Amino acid sequence: MTSAQQAATAAHLHLLDAPTPWWSLAASSRCIADAQGRPRVLILPVAGGSLAEDVALATAVARLINEAAGVPDAPVEASHDPDHLDAVGAESAHFRRRVGARAGE
């Protein structure tokens, strides 16, 4: 992929309000978040699969999205900043309320 294509991908994600880098919300999470910690992709469990496989897939998907947008892998520690984790928790709670409301819970 050329740097122009990577820039176009990054710009498109930004226009969709889904800035990079993307990353798994936690070491044991099927959920992928954008740079602002908002959940964007959820790897659905499948029969016969395992959490470890799903987490590995989530990590790979996040890495591929970042590579396509020309973003180097963020260090693992980047997602463990206490302020960031608080923001992620708040956004995750908001997301669950929205999804629950739509599902009639």
- Intervals of the chain under pLDDT 70: 73-88, 94-95, 100-105
Q: What is the total count of domains within the chain?
A: 1
Residue whose token pair is 């908001």: 94
CA dihedral 45, 28, 35, 100 (to 10 degrees): 50
What pLDDT is stored for residue 52 in this prediction?
87
What pLDDT is stored for residue 11 in this prediction?
92
What pLDDT is stored for residue 77 in this prediction?
43
Give the range of the structural domain holding residue 84, as residue numbers without chain letter.
3-102
Q: What is the pLDDT of residues 57-79, one digit of tens each?
A: 998 999 999 999 999 865 444 45
Give the Cα separation of 85 and 43 in Å (integer).
21
Look up the pTM and report it: 0.66
